[in-house]
Amino acid sequence: MSRLTLVFNAGHLTDRLWAEVDLCRSLLDEFSAKINSYEALGLRGFLQKALMVAVEEKKLASWRSQILERRAALHVLLASFNSIQLHEVGEQLGRVGSQAQYIASRVNGVEAQVHNVEVQVHNVEAQVLNVGTLGVVLSTFLSAQVSQTGSEIREAVSEMRQGQTEVQRAIAQMSLHDIRDPVFFVIDPVGRSIPIPLSHFAGFNDLDRILKAYLFNRPEAGSRYVERGDYSVVTTQGEVISRSNVREKVRAWMQFDISIVKRSLEWTPMACPQCG
């Protein structure tokens, strides 16, 4: 939320919010002071208060209008606050999802390199052993070197996996419950609700990016199928939503399901990951 913090520290919204609140308070204090000035006069004050209400109807109407204007201004400012906060959450979610995918690809690449190096060293050892005593010395040296190199690479892989775990934890801790802008919900294959903000949803690509970030490295929820696009969005009535017009079908607070599309295999029957 760094950009959001800068916006508020710079006073772009905070100063305006406080100014509107102070103006509302001053209007209320002014009206209250005018009314309370008659209370000390007893019955005569009550009659004067009633007369004031009747005579100054136009002034009261003006006061109500000012209060309504201030309330409308506050509503606009609060809506702007929610929009900025929601936009920041969406951007963070996209960045975290991309970072998690990048780390996963790096981990897989490094592990493959470690395996290739070990295979090559074993091949060299086999060749060196054929040259006698010198071969034994070189083989021992190479074994020590590859063991040390392998340990260093595995340590690097462990650090990257730790970073991947932290990224996933950051995704899990992200919450949109405090956001008041309209959202709709997508239920993943294991029943977990994923809120999608309408103000940050222009089409299927936005939905696809958010779903991939939420389901990353969750095989029990069909993450590998979602990652390669083998899924459909389905209404609670069972209607499959076309990706080209998904934005037209979505409304605030609606609920949809993810339907996993498994590729058919000739030698084994396929099953739904949820119901088996």
In a domain, 20, yes or no: yes
Q: Where does a domain end: 118, 138, 173?
A: 173
> Which stretches of the chain score pLDDT less than 50?
1-11, 134, 176-179, 265
User: Domain holding 221: CATH number?
Assistant: 3.10.20.90
What separation in angstroms does the CA of 206 have from each of 41, 198, 247, 258? Answer: 66, 10, 10, 15
DSSP count for the chain of H helices, then E strands = 8, 5
Residues 194 and 222 in one domain: yes
pLDDT for the residue 92: 63
pLDDT for the residue 5: 40
Residues 76 and 128 in one domain: no
User: Long-range contacts of range 74-79, CB-CB < 8 Å, 24 or more positions apart?
Assistant: 74/17, 74/20, 74/21, 74/24, 77/13, 77/16, 77/17, 77/20, 78/17, 79/181
pLDDT for the residue 10: 41
pLDDT for the residue 184: 86
By 3-state DSSP, what share of the chain in percent is helix, strand and coil, each rounded to 5? 70, 10, 20
pLDDT for the residue 166: 63
Residue type, 130: N
pTM for the complete prediction? 0.35
pLDDT for the residue 109: 65
| Strand positions, DSSP E, 104-242 | 183-187, 193-197, 231-235, 240-241
pLDDT for the residue 261: 73
Residues 82 and 13 in one domain: yes
| Strand positions, DSSP E, 70-215 | 183-187, 193-197
pLDDT for the residue 4: 39
pLDDT for the residue 3: 40
User: Which residues constitute the domain of residue 205?
Assistant: 183-260
Burial class (CB in 10 A: 0-12, 13-18, 19+), 258: buried
Q: Where does a domain end: 55, 71, 91?
A: 91
d(CA 83, CA 87): 6
Q: Considering its fold, how many domains does the chain have in total? A: 3
pLDDT for the residue 8: 41
pLDDT for the residue 43: 53
pLDDT for the residue 247: 86
